[in-house]
Amino acid sequence: MLSYRHAFHAGNHADVLKHFVLHQVLSYSNQKDKPYWYVDSHAGAGMYALDHGYAMQNAEFEQGIARLWQANDLPPALQAFIDLVRQLNPGPTLKRYPGSPNVAQLLLRPHDRMRLFELHPTDAKLLRQHFKPAGRQVLIEQEDGFAGLKALLPPPPRRAVVLIDPPYEEKRDYQRVVEALKDSLQRFATGTYLLWYPLLQRPEIKLLQEKLPKLGAASWLHATLSIQAPSEDGFGMHGSGIFVINPPWTLPETLNNTLPYLAQKLALDDGASFTLEHQIP
């Protein structure tokens, strides 16, 4: 299925959680001089307009990044992420929001590399246009990211940050992400992997959450952020989760200081909440 377009959801609460954690992981990876690869299994279009087009139809960013844009009480780590988004919005108005590849582009160093997968033909074309000036640093494939991962791991520098965030249009995606992580760990056990997923009232979510800590990774972190209570009719996404394998040892404390703020700032009702678990030797 190729109906999903992330532009409709750009900058929403799920993007804030996902990209904030990605920002933390990449910033930590930059502390070592040795180069690494950033790999994105479902890269999208790279950059999204918030003042016109698809993003304006549901305006989900108004319940996400827009609530943080003018805040003057942000935790330091979250302020650093907002400062990164401000690099793309030179004026006072929030007009553009970076997808995960663009978050990575703003953080990667000249000797690091990006490998991006996007199956949707329109988004793949937009992605290539956006990253054309980057030259050889960025390689883009119009391909299923699950299959693409197998060909890339382990990467030549033996360091990588891998983001897996399919649209979950199909039920089998919930099993495919588990299989992708399991296979990736066998090929490249020392990589850092970030898996994003939606919080929905579906049995697949509970099964996924049960399977992730059992993948056998020695070090992991699992965080969720809900902005409202699940709806009575059972429909709609009320939050999202992110599971990180081989996370920075600093990430639990950072999220302890940030998730309560996000749950309060992005809340739509009294059901807003967060969870945080980790096993880091």
Where along the chain do its domains lie?
9-279
Cβ(9)–Cβ(65) below 8 Å: no
* pTM of the predicted protein model: 0.96
Residues 168, 173: Cα–Cα separation, whole Å: 5
Residues 103, 100: Cα–Cα separation, whole Å: 5
Residue 54 has a pLDDT of 62
Question: Is 165 marked active-site?
Answer: yes
Instruction: Return the DSSP state at 7.
Output: G
Secondary structure class of 42 (helix, strand, coil): coil
**Residue whose tokens read 């599971």:** 243
Residue 5 has a pLDDT of 61
Residues 112, 14: Cα–Cα separation, whole Å: 27
Residue 79 has a pLDDT of 98
Residue 244 has a pLDDT of 98
Q: What is the pLDDT along the chain (281 residues), one digit of tens a residue?
A: 455 567 778 899 999 999 999 999 999 999 999 999 999 999 998 889 998 766 677 779 999 999 999 999 999 999 999 999 999 999 899 999 999 999 999 999 999 999 999 999 999 999 999 998 888 899 999 999 999 999 999 999 999 999 999 999 889 999 999 999 999 999 999 999 999 999 999 999 999 999 999 999 999 999 999 999 998 887 789 999 999 999 999 999 999 999 999 999 999 999 999 999 999 99
CATH of 9-279, one of 3.10.20.30, 1.10.3720.10, 3.30.70.20, 3.40.50.150: 3.40.50.150
CA quadruple 106, 109, 115, 121: dihedral sign = positive
Which of 15, 165, 233, 270 is an active site residue?
Answer: 165
Instruction: Please report which residue ranges of 70-143 form alpha helices under DSSP H.
Output: 76-86, 100-107, 121-131
